[in-house]
Amino acid sequence: MENLNVILNTVKNINVTSAIDILVVAYLIYRAYKIIKETRAEQLLKGILLILLLIPVSFILNLTMVYTIISKTITIGVLSIIIIFQPEIRRVLEHIGRSTFTERGVPRQDESIEKVIREITTAVDNMSESKTGALIVIERTTGLGEILGSGTIVDAVVSASLLENIFVPNTPLHDGATIIRMNRILASGCVLPLTGSQEISKKLGTRHRAAIGLSEVSDAVVLVVSEETGTISLAVNGKLVRNYDRERLQAILTKILKKEEGKDESIRGRVREWLRTKKTTS
Ligand SMILES: Nc1ncnc2c1ncn2[C@@H]1O[C@H](COP(=O)(O)OP(=O)(O)OP(=O)(O)O)[C@@H](O)[C@H]1O
């Protein structure tokens, strides 16, 4: 009863500043949840929230032992969360950075993007026909500097023939991933992080797992051509979509990489856009 009074008094003392404080925290939690939704962190997060919910419940019901154990182990818990959620935390922070700064990996001018997309699509389609295994990463806002270091620097203009040449079997650069930034092939033979997801089909080997793995920890677009079947797949945001043909691949790459004309994705741009829509609706 005493504990309940403490909580009621706290609620009574809420002023405008603390209400804003609560709203900001609630918004940040909501955004973080949206980013990690449908990743392996979602289930873990639900479990942790349930345990955290036990703190006020045990406090109100005077369950001294439960309350003491949970509140005393929370520090170790926070440390464990940071270690377990390291990839997801990185993703959330990168996502925040992405909203603040404008895109850097994708070429600015539409013509240039279209050309890069055309060259990549042609190469991927040809490699699919000849069943040449390939792994192509298109960098967007998440910097892939660490990954570049694992491969060999190429630094050449993107062209279908160069891409096809890189992946010719038994040549020095065919193993691993090729990274594209803007309209340049930066490096080949790069090692990508493998996904740890248990939900992926056992039929998919390490090439596809590497594509999903990188797309889980970055906003890169990753293309895979299967050496076994010639199937074209695309991984974005931890999801792999299979069986693309040339037209569908060109369409999806254009949709992802070509920024809507004049659209400002930065926070300032979004606020401006929101104010503009408010003005027109009022
Ligand atoms: N971590 C990694 N980073 C980059 N490339 C990788 C990685 N792991 C494997 N690869 C590439 O994938 C090739 C092996 O593909 P594997 O047959 O295991 O995959 P798969 O998904 O079954 O693809 P495929 O359908 O082409 O056989 C390696 O030779 C290498 O080029």
Q: How far is the CA of 213 from the centre of ligand 1 (A)?
A: 12
Position 94 scores a pLDDT of: 67
pLDDT > 90 in the chain, percent: 40
CATH code for the domain defined by 109-262: 3.40.1700.10
Q: Which atom of ligand 1 is nearest to the CA of 229?
A: 25
What is the per-residue pLDDT across 110-123, written as a single tens digit (0 to 9) for each?
Answer: 558 889 999 999 99
Please work out whether the CB of residue 227 comes within 6 Å of at least one atom of ligand 1. yes
Tell which wins on pLDDT, 280 or 48.
Answer: 48
Residue 15 corresponds to which tokens in the numbers above? 């002023």
Q: How far is the CA of 206 from the centre of ligand 1 (A)?
A: 4
Q: Which atom of ligand 1 is nearest to the CA of 193?
A: 1
String of b and e for 160-194 (b: at least 16 CB within 10 Å)? bebbbebbeeeeebbbbbbbbbbbebbbbbbebbb
Detail the DSSP E strand segments found in the chain: 134-138, 152-157, 177-181, 184-190, 221-225, 232-236, 239-241
Please work out whether the CB of residue 192 comes within 6 Å of at least one atom of ligand 1. yes
Residue bearing the CA closest to ligand 1, atom 13: 207
Quickly state the pLDDT bin for 280 (edges 50, 70, 90). very low
pTM for the whole thing?
0.65
What are the sequence ranges of the domains in the chain?
2-97, 109-262
What is the per-residue pLDDT across 207-264, written as a single tens digit (0 to 9) for each?
Answer: 999 999 999 988 899 999 999 999 999 999 999 999 999 999 999 999 998 764 445 5
| Complex-level ipTM | 0.95
Q: How far is the CA of 199 from the centre of ligand 1 (A)?
A: 18
Position 45 scores a pLDDT of: 74
